[in-house]
Structure 1
Amino acid sequence: MTGQARERERPRLAAVTAAPAQGSATADDEIDLLALLRTIWRGKWLILLCALLTLGAGIYYATQVATPRYTASTAVALQVKNPQVLDLESVMSGVSTDDTSMNTEVEVIRSRGLLEQLVSELDLLQDPEFNATLRPADEFSLRGLLAPVLGDTPEALAVVAEETVLNNTVDALRGALGASVQRDTFILNVRATTGDPRKSALIANTLAELYIEDQIAVKFRGTEEAVTWLSERVTALEDELREKEDQIATLRSESELVSPEALEGLNRQAKDVRDRLAALQGQVARDREEISALEAALETGDVAEAVRLAGDATLRQLAQRVTTGEGQAMELFERRAETVLARRAGEVDRSAAQAASLESSLTRLQAQAEAQAEELGQLQQLEREAQATRTLYETFLARLKEAAVQRGLQQADARILSEATPGEMVAPRKARIAALALILGLMIGTGLVLLREAMRSGFRSPEELESHTGRAVLGQIPRMPIRKRAQLVGYLNDKPTSAAAEAIRNLRTSVLLSNLDAAPKVILVSSSVPGEGKTTQAIGLAHNLAGLGKKVLLIEGDIRRRTFNEYFRGKSDAGLIAVLSEEVPLEQAVLRSEEFPVDVLMGQKSSVNAADLFSSDAFTTFMTRVRETYDYIVIDTPPVLVVPDARVMAAVADAIVYAVEWDATPRSQVTEGLKLFASVGTPVTGLSLSQIDPTKMRRYGYGGQYGAYARYGRKYYDA
């Protein structure tokens, strides 16, 4: 293929190989469940190992380390609103049926007051299970190791306050106790969990008894408080009632009031006097008006009017005589009129005096009625207050007698339904611990497998490599069983049907078929960094191409390190530099032997920079000449990420094989190396997985799937 044809072909290959890489980036955003399951299956032995280790640890803990715990339970039946001998709800009553009251009783059982009584009753301060200060220190435990730092020395524990010890003991006891309401019943289950089955039963029964005794004690205290309060109140009411009665007696003795009826008669009498006074005063006023009119008529000489007003028969006769003109009739008339006026004036004065007397009597009666009405009101108020005090006194006195009688009739609102028997072992639950340990081990193992997979940066299968790079994997080369580089050629000759030889043969086939229009003649082999099997592949590929009866030239392009002398026994005085400078003909510079039928052009140390040397026209002319002389030219280049030599030499290559060490070369390095080749317009033709470890491959679960190291090919290959 000419240089112009290669330049036309490389953009097409770059476009073809770039598309899968873009698709792979999209695929990375999705979770491949099948791949995840395969990953877990590949790590099945690690997962199984972790599961067995945690299972053993769990069984050891359950059987050798964990302290057995025993639980005993006492059933307490609650009396719901039980009837009492006397109706005294304020002193005695049953437990309410609502959930709140039932839950309250549960908390009462676990209250600090009852637990302190339980500690005192059973002397739990002397029990190391509840009193931590009595336990011997474990020097090998974490707390024992930190005892000097925490201050938990025997001397420090010896001076711990008694109150602190009691509080800690009560807290430990509360942690060992439990209480619950049995569903759809009024039965409380009191549980105690300790390291001794008999101790658990004793604690549960004792707590139930203390709970019942506490109920009676609470009721007795309530009754005593009620009796005391009622006694004080009855005494106070009795004194108050006596005081009210004394005030009523005093008021009755000092008051003139006989009864409310007498006050009513006095009011009627005053009304009669008031009526008489009003009539008399009206009469006096009318009489005075008549006297005034009479005096006016006499003064004016109106005899007829005076007679009419006087109403006196004698005066009327004298008026007739005055009319007839008798001589002394007028004088007699006047004297008689004066007499009538004087008589009428006397009558008016007597009426006025009588009216004054009635008015005085009315004033006296009104004052007397008002005074007696006020006293009657005070008396009635005192009587009402006394009656209310008497009623309250009698009520409290009756309640006092009831409470006094009730003191001897107290009953608890609960009773022990069934006593606890020696407890049953509830911990450790060996089956549960073993199951949880096994599950934990499986989770840890799976987590380690997934973590190892997540942290892995290399490639273990051609699918991974192709998915990540978007380029085809041309071959998969297993690690060759040689210790020294000088053994490589001998191994290729002695084991022509080995798995490694067949893998290189597959690589050769893939490279030659990479371009169906024109098989590549110049094949460049490179890698990301040193030590990835690049040189081994180049030598193996050249050896395999020579096996086709072709004339092959192997060029050591890595003139900086020059490692070919470690692979080949013969030596040559000339090399690549001498050939390029035309100091030595190519035929004299190449190294060839019977065991390696390939012309090997060794590298030489040069004072000129290697990249500049391979960019020179001399190297281009040399490559044009060897194309005509040889059927295939294989060039072993330096790593592309280390020096630019490989990218420079890629301009004269027909195919580029990029070696990737199995499960070692980081993905970022592979990506960066491919970018560097693509940046100079020479995209990589394909990749090869090198130095594959068949043992680890099978361990990871790939042994039955890929390449010459698959178990299905054992009958076809020499070991």
Structure 2
Amino acid sequence: MTEFPKKQQFAPSLPETEDDSIDLAALAGTLWRGKWIIALATALALLIGGYYAFVVATPLYRATSVVILQTKQDNIVDLQSVVGGMSGDSTEVNSEIEVLRSRGLMGKVVDRLDLINDPEFNGELREPGLVANVTGGIRNSIGALFGGDEASELSDIEAQSRRDAVVSALLDKVSISNIRQSLVFNVTVETESARKSARIADAIVELYILNQIEVKFEATEQATTWLTNRVGELQVELEAAETKASDFSSRTELVSIEGLQALERQIKDMRERIATAEQTVSSAQAELEGLRAAEAIEDKVALADDTQLTRMAQRLDDGPEMVAAFDNRYQMVINRKALDLARAEQQLEALRRSAVELERQVARQGQDLITLQQLTREAEATRTLYEYFLTRLKETSAQQGIQQADSRVLSNAVVPGAPSEPRKSRILALSMILGMMIGAGIVLLREMRNNSFRTARELENHTGLTVLGQIPEIPAGKRPNVLRYLLDKPTSAAAEAVRNLRTSLMLSNVDNPPQVILSTSSVPGEGKTTNSLALAANLLGLGKRVLVIEGDIRRRTLNEYFPTLPTSGIVGVLSGEMRFEDAVHRPADFGADVLAGDKTATNAADLFSSDRFRDFIEEMRGRYDAIIIDTPPVLVVPDARIIAQVADAILFTVYWDSTSKQQVEEALRMFDQTKQRISGLVLSQISARGMKRYGYGGQYGAYGAYGAKYYTE
């Protein structure tokens, strides 16, 4: 088998490194190729948007009422208010926005304007649909099951639910905004009626201001009620405190701070006298003990300090009578000292009792004074509190009729002259943008999901093999007419493409051109048989002897091109049942010999693996200049890889924009497993219209836009 060069041998590709970069030129090219899809999507989006804006959408009218917070208010009278005014900080501004959007305020608007009976806000008043009819039937059935109080309770719940739904609908149509760096609020309402929008906006502002006055009035009224009750309670407490102080004062001795101070001075004097008495007692006790302890005459005389005793001491020598008189006199002195000590102790005890009594009297009167002072202070405090609350009660009562709101209306809502919604120009612009985005998304998604080959460059980059031919669709209708078209229109694009394939195949090895050519594909229906016959017919134009062998003996596809083929063919020749000359057939207007397949139970793989087949091919090499073998698809049966062992060149056909990349990869991998080289690829059945649709019509091969000047269709 003659081998000839190829671009690159196919091998299972390794995972490619992901590239995060975006090829903007390729992206722009893809979008340009899908420009008609994008244009169609844009046109449809514009049509839908226009239909919605001009036909479906309900006109909405927007009205705005303006209100301002007043942080400084003039007082009619100089009285302290129960509810303070606004300070104007951001917290209060945000709080007032929420007050304007509160469900309580919106509920008052609903009640005032009777929006429950407005179909725009109450969906139950609109024309009921299928779902509403079914829901109503269920509700009626449930109502029939209940009776008496249960039905009334359910009705109340439904009424409350209906009112809540209307309030929610009103909230959806109201927007509150604060003008930056100001205390001004815009209350905007958007409904289906211009007058209704203005009326609702004014009602919201009016009720908001009225609500501020009501809040202050209610606060003042509550404060007045509370102050009235509190003043009454304080009056009772004051009377009770004063009575208690008066009763206590009448039950106790008249005391004062001055009297207590005099008693304290008496206690001080008494304590000094006690101290003096204690010293006297102590001295007397010392003298008495000294007298009693003395033994010597001189000591007794010195301690007694008695004149008579001194004289008697000088006369002790007169006799025993004088000594006895001295002792009697000394004992008399001791008795006198003892008597003085007793009197001093009695005085000290009396002074101490008097001091204790004075202290008790001071303590008792001090406690009474404290109690009286406490009762007096409680009465005074109650009186002060009573007078303060009485004053606040009179002030609060005077404020009930002079309350002012913290806001005022800057401008009432103006009835709009034109609807604010729908904004037709914006809808159309957004529809156009959305349509372009959807169209671009469809184009990019289709490009991402593309798993086939549309150009020879894609096929070569993916497989690493050379594309030898690009065959366009042959507008022949049925298969028998294909060869007739090529013969009748030798200057057509299809005929020139086959010549390009023949030229590329022959020039792939100039020194040793291939003689045995195998034609195969991944799966059936890719055009390999048509390419085989077209290539054979083209080789005949070079004056070569050509033999076409049907290698697909299971399907006998050549019978569809040449209905006159005999029923016996290559199987009979290889088995020896008939001669080659009897089996070969030359169809009319074809010029090449055709050896068809047979209907047989013989295993095709065993047949083509035999030495008889190899010998047969060698014999045919001597008879013909070119032998083209049309084989079954590679992914279906192994026949093609077996026959390839005797071939000089292998042409692998890929169906344009149809055969998946996985099918091509798997088929080429199977050839690579047996070390068989693919000579080249053929991109078959290319649609010129499809290539133009994808944006390739002016760039590639025989189906290029410039080919019309050279081809005759």
Aligned CA distance change for structure 1 residues 90 and 544 (closer, same or farther; 3 Å):
same
Q: Does 1:454 align with 2:448?
A: yes
Q: Which moved more, 1:83-92 or 1:453-462?
A: 83-92
| Displacement of 1:541 | 0.8
* Alpha-carbon distance between aligned partners in 1 of 2:656 and 2:438, rounded to the nearest angstrom: 27
Aligned CA distance change for structure 1 residues 85 and 626 (closer, same or farther; 3 Å):
same
Contact 1:24 1:468 in 2 (8 A): no
Contact 1:42 1:700 in 2 (8 A): yes
* Alpha-carbon distance between aligned partners in 1 of 2:556 and 2:296, rounded to the nearest angstrom: 185
* Alpha-carbon distance between aligned partners in 1 of 2:691 and 2:191, rounded to the nearest angstrom: 54
Q: 1:311 — aligned with what?
A: 306
Q: Select the residue among 4, 9, 16 that pairs with 1:17.
A: 9
* Alpha-carbon distance between aligned partners in 2 of 1:567 and 1:324, rounded to the nearest angstrom: 196
The CA deviation string for residues 454-476 of structure 1, in whole angstroms up to 9 with x for no partner, is 33333221112112221111111
Q: 2:61 — aligned with what?
A: 70
Q: Does 1:514 align with 2:519?
A: no
Contact 1:294 1:306 in 2 (8 A): no
Q: 2:384 — aligned with what?
A: 391
Matched ranges for 1:317-356 at <5 A: 322=315, 325=318
Question: What residue identity is the alignment partner of 1:186?
Answer: L
Matched ranges for 1:375-390 at <5 A: 375-390=368-383
Matched ranges for 1:202-281 at <5 A: 202-280=199-277
Question: What residue identity is the alignment partner of 2:406?
Answer: D
| Displacement of 1:582 | 5.2
Question: What residue identity is the alignment partner of 2:658?
Answer: A
| Displacement of 1:502 | 0.8
Aligned CA distance change for structure 1 residues 602 and 250 (closer, same or farther; 3 Å):
closer
Aligned CA distance change for structure 1 residues 506 and 263 (closer, same or farther; 3 Å):
same
| Displacement of 1:186 | 0.6
Question: What residue identity is the alignment partner of 1:415?
Answer: R
Q: Select the residue among 583, 594, 597 that pairs with 2:591.
A: 597
Matched ranges for 1:477-492 at <5 A: 477-492=471-486
* Alpha-carbon distance between aligned partners in 2 of 1:597 and 1:121, rounded to the nearest angstrom: 100
Q: Which moved more, 1:588-597 or 1:256-265?
A: 588-597
Question: What residue identity is the alignment partner of 1:527?
Answer: S
Aligned CA distance change for structure 1 residues 518 and 271 (closer, same or farther; 3 Å):
same
Q: Which moved more, 1:559-568 or 1:153-162?
A: 153-162
Contact 1:485 1:566 in 2 (8 A): yes
Q: Does 1:405 align with 2:398?
A: yes
* Alpha-carbon distance between aligned partners in 1 of 2:16 and 2:350, rounded to the nearest angstrom: 133
Contact 1:81 1:93 in 2 (8 A): no
* Alpha-carbon distance between aligned partners in 2 of 1:259 and 1:270, rounded to the nearest angstrom: 17
The CA deviation string for residues 534-568 of structure 1, in whole angstroms up to 9 with x for no partner, is 12111111111111122222222222222333323
Matched ranges for 1:281-300 at <5 A: 282-283=279-280, 286=283
Contact 1:70 1:425 in 2 (8 A): yes
Q: 2:367 — aligned with what?
A: 374
Contact 2:301 2:313 in 1 (8 A): no
Q: Does 1:114 align with 2:105?
A: yes
Aligned CA distance change for structure 1 residues 381 and 545 (closer, same or farther; 3 Å):
same
Q: 1:414 — aligned with what?
A: 407
Aligned CA distance change for structure 1 residues 252 and 24 (closer, same or farther; 3 Å):
closer
* Alpha-carbon distance between aligned partners in 1 of 2:207 and 2:161, rounded to the nearest angstrom: 23
Aligned CA distance change for structure 1 residues 17 and 83 (closer, same or farther; 3 Å):
farther
Question: What residue identity is the alignment partner of 1:133?
Answer: E
Give the secondary-structure state (helix, strand or coil) at the position aligned to 1:688. strand
Q: 2:652 — aligned with what?
A: 658
Contact 1:51 1:440 in 2 (8 A): yes
The CA deviation string for residues 6-34 of structure 1, in whole angstroms up to 9 with x for no partner, is 3xx47x74x83337x74995589876543
Contact 1:559 1:610 in 2 (8 A): yes
Q: Does 1:194 align with 2:188?
A: no
Question: What residue identity is the alignment partner of 1:442?
Answer: M
Question: What residue identity is the alignment partner of 1:482?
Answer: A
Q: Does 1:148 align with 2:139?
A: no
| Displacement of 1:135 | 1.5
Q: Does 1:645 align with 2:642?
A: no
Q: Select the residue among 622, 632, 643 that pairs with 1:628.
A: 622
The CA deviation string for residues 488-513 of structure 1, in whole angstroms up to 9 with x for no partner, is 33222211111111111111101111
Question: What residue identity is the alignment partner of 1:412?
Answer: A
Q: Which moved more, 1:99-108 or 1:520-529?
A: 520-529
Instruction: Provide structure 2 residue ranges, at least 5 long, that are not aligned to the other structure.
Output: 144-153
The CA deviation string for residues 342-376 of structure 1, in whole angstroms up to 9 with x for no partner, is 87777666666655554554443333222222212
* Alpha-carbon distance between aligned partners in 2 of 1:349 and 1:316, rounded to the nearest angstrom: 26
| Displacement of 1:211 | 0.8
* Alpha-carbon distance between aligned partners in 2 of 1:638 and 1:342, rounded to the nearest angstrom: 165
Aligned CA distance change for structure 1 residues 460 and 151 (closer, same or farther; 3 Å):
farther
| Displacement of 1:201 | 0.9
* Alpha-carbon distance between aligned partners in 2 of 1:93 and 1:665, rounded to the nearest angstrom: 83
| Displacement of 1:379 | 2.1
* Alpha-carbon distance between aligned partners in 2 of 1:577 and 1:335, rounded to the nearest angstrom: 186
Q: Which moved more, 1:445-454 or 1:42-51?
A: 445-454
* Alpha-carbon distance between aligned partners in 2 of 1:269 and 1:573, rounded to the nearest angstrom: 161
Q: Which moved more, 1:353-362 or 1:670-679?
A: 353-362
Give the secondary-structure state (helix, strand or coil) at the position aligned to 2:490. coil
Q: 1:615 — aligned with what?
A: 609
Contact 1:257 1:376 in 2 (8 A): no
Aligned CA distance change for structure 1 residues 337 and 38 (closer, same or farther; 3 Å):
closer
TM-score by length of 1: 0.88
* Alpha-carbon distance between aligned partners in 2 of 1:304 and 1:492, rounded to the nearest angstrom: 179
Q: Which moved more, 1:57-66 or 1:616-625?
A: 616-625
Give the secondary-structure state (helix, strand or coil) at the position aligned to 1:77. strand
Q: Does 1:129 align with 2:115?
A: no
| Displacement of 1:332 | 7.7
* Alpha-carbon distance between aligned partners in 1 of 2:290 and 2:664, rounded to the nearest angstrom: 154
* Alpha-carbon distance between aligned partners in 1 of 2:483 and 2:321, rounded to the nearest angstrom: 205
Contact 2:536 2:546 in 1 (8 A): yes
Contact 1:257 1:263 in 2 (8 A): no
Q: Does 1:163 align with 2:160?
A: yes
The CA deviation string for residues 71-90 of structure 1, in whole angstroms up to 9 with x for no partner, is 21111110125464567667
Aligned CA distance change for structure 1 residues 595 and 153 (closer, same or farther; 3 Å):
farther
How many residue pairs get aligned? The number is 701
Contact 1:86 1:402 in 2 (8 A): no
Q: Which moved more, 1:666-675 or 1:106-115?
A: 666-675
* Alpha-carbon distance between aligned partners in 1 of 2:274 and 2:181, rounded to the nearest angstrom: 90
| Displacement of 1:323 | 5.8
| Displacement of 1:427 | 1.8
The CA deviation string for residues 294-327 of structure 1, in whole angstroms up to 9 with x for no partner, is 6888xx7949945972635x6666666x468499
Q: 1:707 — aligned with what?
A: 701
* Alpha-carbon distance between aligned partners in 2 of 1:587 and 1:443, rounded to the nearest angstrom: 66
What do you get for the CA RMSD once the two structures are aligned? 3.3
| Displacement of 1:334 | 7.8
| Displacement of 1:447 | 2.4
Q: Does 1:93 align with 2:84?
A: yes
Contact 2:223 2:396 in 1 (8 A): yes
| Displacement of 1:187 | 0.7
Matched ranges for 1:522-533 at <5 A: 522-533=516-527
Aligned CA distance change for structure 1 residues 628 and 238 (closer, same or farther; 3 Å):
same
TM-score by length of 2: 0.89
| Displacement of 1:574 | 5.8
Instruction: Provide structure 1 residue ranges, at least 5 long, that are not aligned to the other structure.
Output: none
* Alpha-carbon distance between aligned partners in 1 of 2:623 and 2:376, rounded to the nearest angstrom: 148
Question: What residue identity is the alignment partner of 2:306?
Answer: G
